[in-house]
Amino acid sequence: MSDLKITNLHKHYGAFHAVKGIDLDVPSGEFTVLVGPSGCGKSTLLRTIAGLEEASSGKVEIGGRDVTWARPRDRDIAMVFQNYALYPYLNVKENIAFGLRARKFASAEVEKRVARAAEMLGIGHLLQRFPRELSGGQRQRVAIGRAIVRDAILYLFDEPLSNLDAQLRDDMRVEIKRLHQELGRTMIYVTHDQIEAMTLADRIVLLRDGVIEQLGAPLDLFERPSTRFVAGFLGSPKMNFLNATLSPDGVTLADGTKLSLPGRKTSKAGQAVILGLRPQHIAMAGKTVAPGHERVPVTIELVQPTGSRVQVTMPLGGTSIVAELAAHDVSRPGEKTHIDIDMTRAVIIDPTTEKVI
Amino acid sequence: MSALPFHRRKDVRLAWRYLIAVLLVIVFVFPVYWLFIISFKTPDEIFAFPPVWYPASIQFNNYAVLFKDGDAWSVWNSLVLASVSTFFAMIFGTIAAYSLVRFKTGGENLAVWIISQRMMPPVAIVFPLFLLYVYFGWVDTYHGLIILYTAFSLPYVIWMMRGYIEDIPLELEESALVDGCTRWEVLWKVVLPMARSGLFATAVFTFIFAWNDFLFALVLTRTEVTTYTVQVTHYFGGQSNFWAKIAAMSVLGTIPVFFTVAVMQRYLVRGISMGAVKG
């Protein structure tokens, strides 16, 4: 059964067309992440699901019920906001209990549920405090507690971690993932951060300019992007894009470097294409060239160590590419060396349609 | 200038500041003191020269006369009129302000239209109003003045509350809507608590406006609902002024406002600094 079904949803703000005909089906218990650059319509889509924005046309069904025109309170949803949305005049306990009290739950039931939610989130000792006395991470826990204390069909998260610092963000990401596994509820999560999307999602919905660019499991999108945009959006550092021309058994780069494409034959030799190479699929030259790999001489331009890995910039095919190498592979700029490129993972993109061939 | 050591120069500067502060306090507080002290004097003391800075014995005769003659009722009238009209103005004004902010009722300009009512001099409409009130039989009634004061306070309340409500993060309201509240519940459970300081500050000023009104009360009351501001003027005579009664009645009229402000001071300061400068 699907908990959320969106059919041909449109949203206009005056002349601006924010959501352009989205169809989406979210099965029960799935963690779906809506991701995309700012202005792609992901927040608008989420807010339309919540009923905070009115759909211009189309249909939203939650739990099999048409709620397109229902008020937010009648949709059986819970939502976590980016700025926590905690009531400063209520203590933590009353903040968590707010939704239950609004729905006239019996006092004993409220106590029980608040205690359980607080325990799950490890904030039991904070119940008597006020929001201003909490750290950012604690506030976000309370905000999440306020959502999970309710038995909603759908749990919505609107960029809940973007106000936290990097360390806390990592911790809370783990927490949210764990919560989803424990509760097994259907969750829709909006973020602009591709790492959050990759790590949390059962399924990623990648949006661009109000339409779904691609949708699928995180690794599907990472390994088999359907467009240049998807290929470039997911992954850090970003995928390298090089101008190239198809040849019968591979591609030729702008500077004449020939790279073979194993297992791929083309009849369109001479066609201009874009070659996409992930920094992770480039390695220091080993003793032998592995099958499907291409060995290329390069000169190191820039070295950025990240601790466990090192990001190395080097010229190739008339542009600069980035490779993610093992920490001690290169030491300084100017070094001449060889790299092995895994051509089996390379992506070929049609420059006019921007679609992956 | 003699070269004093640094800490001595600081002391001197501090002393100057205290001196100026004390002088300013005297300038502002003396009239209040004089008003209070006159109300406790005998007629001889009031007109004595050189002035009696403090009376030989505090006596309450001036007040006793006001209560015996029933004049003190006018303070009660003022209290009822100001409180009830403030109550209604706050309710309707807050709801209207919420509507203006959240639903953009009347577009961008309605709020400016509403506040423009404040620019109209009350004296320009007081006589047409008088004729209207005579027609309705509302002259010298509580409800007549309450309706008038409410109507006159509304633009101010709407304008002020609009500023405070605009400062409330939208997400707080949206969160409450998702959690199961209706719009009215959002107003009651989220907007009012969030705007509490502003609410109290606005209420205090609204109360003071109505409390201090003289013009409408003068024209639209006779004997039944005379307010204290009008009552005071009865003691200015053609031949002589009853300074003792004037002072005593003024004191009675000052006390309610004084206590209101004292009790609300915490909210007043916060409310004024919170959103009042936003338009």
Query: Which residues of chain B neighbour A89 with C-beta distances below 8 Å?
Result: 193-194, 196
Answer yes or no: are the C-beta atoms of A171 and A137 closer than 8 Å: yes
Please give the CATH superfamily to which domain A240-349 belongs: Nucleic acid-binding proteins (2.40.50.140)
Report how far apart the first and last C-alpha atoms of chain B are (Å, whole number): 49
Q: Determine the distance in angstroms separating the CA of A5 from the nearest CA of chain B, rounded to an integer.
A: 19
Give me the amino acid identity at A242: L
Token readout for B4 is 């004093």
pLDDT tens-digit series, residues B66-105: 999 889 999 999 999 999 999 999 999 999 999 999 998 8
3-state DSSP of chain A: CEEEEEEEEEEEECCEEEEEEEEEEEECCCEEEEECCCCCCHHHHHHHHHCCCCCCEEEEEECCEECCCCCHHHCCEEEECCCCCCCCCCCHHHHHHHHHHHCCCCHHHHHHHHHHHHHHHCCHHHCCCCHHHCCHHHHHHHHHHHHHCCCCCEEEEECCCCCCCHHHHHHHHHHHHHHHHHHCCEEEEEECCHHHHHHHCCEEEEEECCEEEEEECHHHHHHCCCEHHHHHHCCCCCCEEEEEEEECCEEEECCCCEEECCCCCCCCCCCEEEEEECHHHEEECCCCCCCCEEEEEEECCEEEECCCEEEEEEEECCEEEEEEEECCCCCCCCCEEEEEEEHHHCEEECCCCCEEC
Whether pLDDT at B26 is above 60 = yes
Using DSSP, state whether B236 is helix, strand or coil: strand
Residue B119 pLDDT: 86
Residue with tokens 């009031």: B46
CB proximity list for B189: less than 8 A, separation 6 or greater: A102, B176, B181
Which residues are paired to A7 by β-bridges?
A59
Whether pLDDT at B275 is above 70 = no
| Site from B175, B186, B191, B192 to mutate, A interface, most A CB atoms within 10 angstroms | B175
ipTM of predicted complex: 0.86
Residue B261 pLDDT: 87
| Site from A54, A75, A87 to mutate, B interface, most B CB atoms within 10 angstroms | A87
Using DSSP, state whether B234 is helix, strand or coil: coil
Q: Does the beta-carbon distance from A99 to B179 stay under 8 Å?
A: yes
d(Cα A330, Cα B22) in Å, to the nearest integer?
75
d(Cα A33, Cα A197) in Å, to the nearest integer?
6
CATH number, domain A2-233: 3.40.50.300
Residue B131 class from Cβ within 10 Å (0-12 exposed, 13-18 middle, 19+ buried)?
Answer: exposed
d(Cα A117, Cα A91) in Å, to the nearest integer?
15
Query: Which residues of chain B neighbour A146 with C-beta distances below 8 Å?
Result: 175, 179
Q: Which span out of A267-271, B6-10, B122-126 was modeled with the highest average pLDDT?
A: B122-126
Taken in order A98, A104, A110, A113, is the CA torsion positive or negative?
negative
Query: Which residues of chain B neighbour A139 with C-beta distances below 8 Å?
Result: none
Using DSSP, state whether B109 is helix, strand or coil: coil
- What crossing angle do the helices spanning A107-121 and A92-102 adopt, rounded to 10°? 130
Residue A199 pLDDT: 93
Query: Which of A99-103, B61-65, B275-279 has the weakest average pLDDT?
Result: B275-279
Domain ranges, ordered by start, for chain A: 2-233, 240-349
d(Cα A238, Cα A283) in Å, to the nearest integer?
16
Token readout for A293 is 């790999």
What DSSP string describes B168-217? S-HHHHHHHHHHT--HHHHIIIIIHHHTHHHHHHHHHHHHHHHHH--HHH
Strand order from edge to edge, sheet including A293-299: A282-284, A336-342, A293-299
Separation of CA A61 from chain center = 24
Residue of B nearest to A49 (CA): B178
Q: What length does chain B have?
A: 279
Residue A168 pLDDT: 87
Give me the total of CB pairs closer than 8 Å, taking one residue from chain A and one from chain B: 61
Q: Determine the distance in angstroms separating the CA of A171 from the nearest CA of chain B, rounded to an integer.
A: 24
d(Cα B196, Cα B267) in Å, to the nearest integer?
8
CB proximity list for A69: less than 8 A, separation 6 or greater: A54
Residue B172 pLDDT: 94
Q: Determine the distance in angstroms separating the CA of B198 from the nearest CA of chain A, rounded to an integer.
A: 15
Residue B2 pLDDT: 58
CB proximity list for A95: less than 8 A, separation 6 or greater: A86, A87, A131, A142, A146
Query: Which residues of chain B neighbour A102 with C-beta distances below 8 Å?
Result: 176, 179-181, 185, 189
- Chain A interface with B: residues with Cβ < 8 Å: 50-52, 71-73, 75, 77-79, 81-83, 85, 87-89, 98-99, 102-103, 146, 150, 156
d(Cα B71, Cα B69) in Å, to the nearest integer?
5
Q: Does the beta-carbon distance from A102 to B180 stay under 8 Å?
A: yes
Q: Does the beta-carbon distance from B169 to A103 stay under 8 Å?
A: no
- Chain B interface with A: residues with Cβ < 8 Å: 169, 171-172, 174-182, 185, 189-190, 193-194, 196
| Site from A48, A74, A81 to mutate, B interface, most B CB atoms within 10 angstroms | A81
B143-163: burial string, b at 16+ Cβ within 10 Å, e else: ebbbbbbbebbbbbbbbbbbb
d(Cα B233, Cα B43) in Å, to the nearest integer?
19
d(Cα A168, Cα A134) in Å, to the nearest integer?
14
Could you list the mean pLDDT of each consecutive 10-residue stretch along chain A, which spans 357 residues?
90 93 94 93 94 94 94 94 92 95 94 94 93 91 92 93 87 91 94 92 95 95 94 92 89 89 77 93 89 91 91 92 89 88 92 90
- Which residue in A50, A65, A68, A72 sits closest to A8, CA to CA? A68
CB proximity list for A229: less than 8 A, separation 6 or greater: A206, A208, A213, A354
Q: What length does chain A have?
A: 357
Residue B278 pLDDT: 39
Residue B184 class from Cβ within 10 Å (0-12 exposed, 13-18 middle, 19+ buried)?
Answer: exposed
Query: Which residues of chain B neighbour A71 with C-beta distances below 8 Å?
Result: 177, 182
Residue of A nearest to B193 (CA): A89
| Site from B173, B174, B178, B188 to mutate, A interface, most A CB atoms within 10 angstroms | B178
Average pLDDT value over all residues in chain B: 89
Say which of B169, B171, B181 has its CB closest to residue A102: B181
Residue A248 pLDDT: 83
- Which residue in B53, B54, B59 sits closest to B40, CA to CA? B59
- Which residue in A43, A37, A138 sits closest to A81, CA to CA? A43
Token readout for A131 is 């929001």
CB proximity list for B31: less than 8 A, separation 6 or greater: none
Check residue A122 and give left, alpha or beta (phi > 0: left; psi -120 to 50: alpha): left
d(Cα A196, Cα A213) in Å, to the nearest integer?
18
Instruction: Label residue B276 by pLDDT band (50, 70, 90).
Output: very low
Which residues are paired to A219 by β-bridges?
none
Stretch B175-192: mean pLDDT = 94
Peptide bond just before B5 cis, omega within 30 deg:
no
pLDDT tens-digit series, residues B189-228: 999 999 998 999 999 999 999 999 999 999 999 888 999 9
d(Cα B162, Cα A268) in Å, to the nearest integer?
66
Answer yes or no: are the C-beta atoms of B226 and B71 closer than 8 Å: no
Answer yes or no: are the C-beta atoms of B165 and B195 closer than 8 Å: yes
Q: Does the beta-carbon distance from A87 to B190 stay under 8 Å?
A: yes
Residue of A nearest to B186 (CA): A102
Q: Does the beta-carbon distance from B182 to A99 stay under 8 Å?
A: no
Which residues are paired to A6 by β-bridges?
A24, A60
Query: Which residues of chain A neighbour B179 with C-beta distances below 8 Å?
Result: 73, 78, 98-99, 102-103, 146, 150
Separation of CA A145 from chain center = 23
Give me the amino acid identity at A219: L
